[in-house]
Structure 1
Amino acid sequence: MTLVSFDDFTYQSKVLHENHRGAGVVLKLANGDVAKCFVSKGFILDFARFYLKRSKAQRHRRSAEALLEIGLLTPTPIEIVHFSKPCLYEGAYIQSFVDRAKPVSDALPLMSAKVRVKLLSEVSAQISAMVRAGLLFVDLHLGNLLIDDSGSLWWIDVELLFSARMVRKHFWQRLRRMHTKCHPELLSGVEWVLLRNLLEEQVAQYCGPYPFEA
């Protein structure tokens, strides 16, 4: 287990996003790569999770590789590092930077109704591909999906559960949370019904029909 100094690792880095619920921080490093740093749970637990290949950084890398295997875009996995103690952070997952891209949650309000519908159709197709592969996106919302200047979609902050059973049990709850809690005013009522119906057509055989009231 190779440990690196957090101060040396983050020298001349720039904060891209900080999770105020204590989940970690995303940095753009001096070389242009992106590092998501995960909060430490204590040296013993950090070491045990790394040894068992269950650290947050390791799980994020495996998840990114799984998306790439089914043909979806996510920043290229580069490296995992773990930090010497004492340190607030357990380690970091390093990935490539997606240039000239913004979160779909920021891009949607700037789009015409026709373009929004086309985008939601593509989003539903990509989410359906995950479901068919037995992958459940833990923090599913449109802030974790980037759209670049060419219109390509990139999934970020990717942590997956590799379980068809968990997909069947939790998928619709995750989708409903995306709409009602993460971005409650982002989609119009008509757009939400469209997205939900598109997904139901494509994934009902894997996770049943939408179980909540319309």
Structure 2
Amino acid sequence: MIHPIIFLDFFRKLLAPLHIGEAAADAIAYTWLIIIVAVVVSLLATRAVREVPQGLQNLMEIIIDGIENMIAESMGPKGRAFFPLIATLALFILVSNLIGLIPGFFPPTANINTTAACAVVVFCATHIVGIKEHGTHYVKHFMGPIIWLAPLMFFIEVIGHLSRVLSLSLRLFGNMQGHELVLMIFFTLGVKYFMPLAPLPMMLMGILVSFIQAFVFMLLAMIYIQGSLEEAH
């Protein structure tokens, strides 16, 4: 296994000409690491597909079926078309959150650039789907129920939709960055003053937070896309 310091140094040198800073370089490096791990796991899980799943294939099928059932229940039959997007976001965010629990590793979701990128993807997908589904009539989603209030409602709705990017990105970033700081403080205190297992409760809490934040992001993405699919009233 490649030591995280060697991995980071390699990417920092690779990205040095871009002058993006160490924090952004670290986020990009770990993002690529997660992508590589996801590809490898996918290849291993589908290398020998069996009718009766075993091992890694069984685990991946449970995860995929769970996400697919959640999408179908929340979004209806039309929601299955968005399974690749929502499942990819959910798994990427979950692994990004969990990787921060490994000593020496940094979660990409603790960087605002990563969470903002995920939020922008959801924002663009929402409105692309809305325009594709309703055409020019999609503008009715921004006009409100009363025609004479349409100019005011349009302004308010635009602000509301733009604020979704801030909401999605800052919520995930704030929780993961805060957890990283707290875990670092407890780990330092545990090593210096207490027994080495002192940070363990915070790490268990970190696992819970990682799953919750991935679930919340996935749920909000489904709600936003489902809203663009509905007819305006």
TM-score by length of 2: 0.25
As a proportion of its length, which structure holds more strand? 1
Superposition TM-score, scaled by structure 1 size:
0.27
Tell which structure's C-alpha radius of gyration is larger: 2
